[in-house]
């Protein structure tokens, strides 16, 4: 028999690839941080001798969720300003709070809070855009979660950088520091077409092309964004980015709620990756992404929560359920985004969007073992006819019992193993008092 690090015995293994497959009474074999095999449980005992056995026979075991758009440090602004349109929310509340408080310690504590929340909800990888990406990378690595860290760029000065040259220099330093890391990768992260000028977008595109790095940007988020672009340039933002050479498989376009048919066709033609953030878009009344039309055109659609300041959670199970339901309503078609495709968007679709599809996103032998277990034996899961449907339409993040990243058990039967939950909450409450102006 072959000795391996660990075996997870599951009630059902949902590998995501191939789409819609659900394997009852199967086991996932992990060795050296990678998936060694997925096979029937009654065969696993005769072929493998594991150092550790995890009995999760009342659980569904599946790839971890890929949260394809976050602002992790902003977890400390959760609930600060609700029920407002995007630009009012940004200009009058979020940006002033960041100007007063955003710094390395703020980002560290906010990211720890975000990572703890994500691990508890089954997220094994997140794609971030925020200030102090060096702190985000270090904090994520210490916790053991996989992260794609955005090298933020905005035309105006912030606590992170004083101007374009410093944004680029500091960003490249982050890239160089983490370029060989097993868990941390980087993207360029210009905030949006309305906060980054065309010369700077061209400059970033040139450097991104040289380094073969993706570009992560908010795009076509609101109708107001489109109208401002038309008034200022005579072009819609996607047309401007196309003219600048940014449309392509390396562009991670977030939100995309305002799309015309010709734009969908061009996105599909150029291979742009789309990240759908349904709950944030709903809460800010930004618009509704045409997910069914994008999928029909062959566009890869991933899911993201956005930041907790606008969502207000980082719950990917909740996000994929909302995505599935919303797509049906927008398309007026109950089959617009079936459960299996919604689950794929939250896992393999996200991995593909981030350039990690060959490493994570499905339980495929040879891929890294980013795996989660979800309890399926409770009142909320009974009766159980179709596990994938049950996951998407009836399961909550409180049912996630275990999270592994590269085979490392970061959330073990309801307990975080690399983060101090009580300390994280204590520090979050301390930041609440500072931001609210309460005496310590």
Report the Cα–Cα distance between both ends of the chain, in Å, rounded: 61
Residue 95 pLDDT: 87
Q: What is the dihedral of CA 417, 418, 422, 427, to 10 degrees?
A: -170
- Within 8 A by CB and 6+ apart from 15, the residues are 21, 23, 38, 62, 63, 362, 363, 364
Tell which CATH classification among 1.20.140.10, 2.30.40.10, 2.60.40.10, 1.10.260.30 matches the domain 2-63+369-406: 2.30.40.10
- Which bin fits 429, alpha (ψ -120 to 50), beta or left (φ > 0)? alpha
Residue 155: exposure state from Cβ atoms within 10 A (0-12, 13-18, ≥19): middle
Q: Tell me the mean pLDDT in the region 43-63.
A: 97
Residue 232 pLDDT: 94
- Which bin fits 233, alpha (ψ -120 to 50), beta or left (φ > 0)? alpha
Residue labelled with tokens 């450097």? 207
Q: Which secondary-structure segment (H or E) carries 4? A: strand 2-13
Residue 396 pLDDT: 97
Q: Tell me the mean pLDDT in the region 368-392.
A: 97
Predicted confidence band of residue 85 (pLDDT cuts 50, 70, 90): confident
Buried b (16+ CB within 10 A) or exposed e, 186-219: bbbbbbbbbebeeebbebbbebbeeeebbbbbbb
Q: Are 412 and 428 in contact (CB under 8 A)?
A: no
Q: Are 130 and 107 in contact (CB under 8 A)?
A: yes
Which residues on neighbouring strands pair with residue 395, listed in sequence order? Answer: none
Indicate if the pLDDT at residue 169 is higher than 90. Answer: yes
Domain residue ranges in the chain: 2-63+369-406, 65-353
Percent of the chain with pLDDT over 70: 99
Token pair, residue 195, equals 């906060």
Residue 142: exposure state from Cβ atoms within 10 A (0-12, 13-18, ≥19): middle
Tell which CATH classification among 3.40.50.300, 3.20.20.140, 3.30.70.2610, 3.40.50.150 matches the domain 65-353: 3.20.20.140
Token pair, residue 410, equals 């970061």
Report the alpha-carbon distance of residue 135 to residue 69 in Å, rounded: 17
Q: What is the greatest pairwise CA distance in the chain?
A: 69
Three-state SS for 207-262 is HHHHHCCCEEEEECCCHHHHHHHHHHHCCCHHHHHHHCCCCCCCEEEEECCCCCHH
Other Cβ atoms closer than 10 A to 437 = 7
Q: At what angle do helices 133-143 and 104-120 cross, to 10 degrees?
A: 40
- Within 8 A by CB and 6+ apart from 311, the residues are 277, 279, 280, 283, 305
Q: Do domains 2-63+369-406 and 65-353 have the same CATH topology?
A: no
Predicted confidence band of residue 281 (pLDDT cuts 50, 70, 90): very high
Residue 438 pLDDT: 67
Indicate if the pLDDT at residue 439 is higher than 80. Answer: no
Where does 64-212 show beta strands of DSSP type E? Answer: 65-70, 123-130, 146-153, 184-190
What does DSSP say about strands 400-405 and 371-375: parallel, antiparallel, or unpaired?
antiparallel
Residue 440 pLDDT: 52
Indicate if the pLDDT at residue 31 is higher than 60. Answer: yes
Q: How far is CA 339 from the centre of its chain?
A: 18
DSSP helix/strand/coil, 55? strand
Q: Are 255 and 281 in contact (CB under 8 A)?
A: yes
Token pair, residue 145, equals 């979660």
Q: Is pTM, for the whole model, over 0.95?
A: yes
Report the alpha-carbon distance of residue 235 to residue 217 in Å, rounded: 18
pLDDT one-digit tens code per residue, 102-111:
999 999 999 9
Predicted confidence band of residue 89 (pLDDT cuts 50, 70, 90): confident
Predicted confidence band of residue 367 (pLDDT cuts 50, 70, 90): very high
Indicate if the pLDDT at residue 215 is higher than 70. Answer: yes
């Amino acid at each position: 028999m072959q000795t391996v690090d660990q075996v997870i015995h599951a009630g059902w293994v949902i590998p995501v690839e191939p789409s819609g497959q659900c394997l009852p009474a199967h086991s996932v074999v992990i060795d050296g941080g990678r998936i060694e095999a997925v096979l029937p449980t009654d065969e696993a005992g005769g072929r493998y001798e594991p150092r550790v056995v995890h009995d999760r026979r009342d659980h569904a075991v599946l790839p971890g969720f890929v949260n394809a758009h976050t602002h992790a440090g902003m977890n400390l602004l959760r609930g600060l300003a609700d029920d407002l349109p995007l630009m009012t929310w940004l200009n009058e509340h979020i940006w002033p709070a960041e100007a007063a408080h955003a710094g390395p310690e703020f980002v560290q504590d906010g990211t720890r809070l975000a990572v703890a929340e994500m691990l508890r909800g089954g997220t094994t990888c997140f794609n971030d855009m925020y200030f102090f990406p060096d702190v985000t990378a270090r904090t994520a690595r210490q916790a053991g979660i996989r992260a794609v860290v955005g090298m933020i760029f905005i035309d105006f000065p912030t606590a992170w950088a004083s101007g374009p040259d410093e944004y680029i220099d500091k960003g490249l330093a982050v890239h160089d520091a983490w370029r060989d890391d097993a868990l941390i990768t980087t993207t360029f992260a210009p905030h949006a077409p309305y906060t980054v000028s065309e010369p700077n977008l061209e400059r970033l595109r040139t450097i991104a092309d040289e380094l073969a790095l993706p570009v992560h940007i908010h795009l076509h988020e609101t109708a107001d964004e489109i109208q401002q672009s038309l008034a200022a340039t005579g072009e819609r933002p996607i047309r401007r980015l196309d003219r600048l050479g940014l449309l392509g498989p390396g562009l991670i376009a977030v939100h995309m709620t305002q799309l015309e048919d010709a734009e969908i066709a061009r996105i599909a033609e150029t291979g742009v990756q789309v990240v759908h953030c349904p709950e944030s878009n709903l809460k800010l009344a930004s618009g509704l992404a045409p997910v069914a039309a994008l999928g029909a055109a062959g566009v890869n659609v991933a899911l993201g929560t956005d930041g907790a300041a606008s969502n207000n959670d980082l719950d990917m199970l909740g996000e994929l359920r909302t995505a599935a339901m919303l797509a049906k309503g927008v398309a007026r078609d109950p089959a617009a985004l079936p459960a299996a495709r919604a689950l794929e968007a939250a896992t393999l679709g996200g991995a593909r969007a981030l350039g990690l599809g060959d490493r994570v996103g499905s339980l495929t032998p040879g891929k890294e073992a980013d795996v989660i277990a979800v309890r399926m034996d409770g009142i909320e899961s009974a009766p159980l006819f179709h596990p994938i449907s049950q996951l998407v339409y009836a399961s909550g993040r409180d049912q996630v019992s275990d999270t592994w990243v590269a085979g490392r058990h970061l959330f073990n039967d309801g307990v975080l193993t690399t983060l101090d939950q009580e300390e994280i909450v204590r520090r979050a409450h301390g930041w609440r008092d500072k931001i609210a102006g309460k005496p310590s």
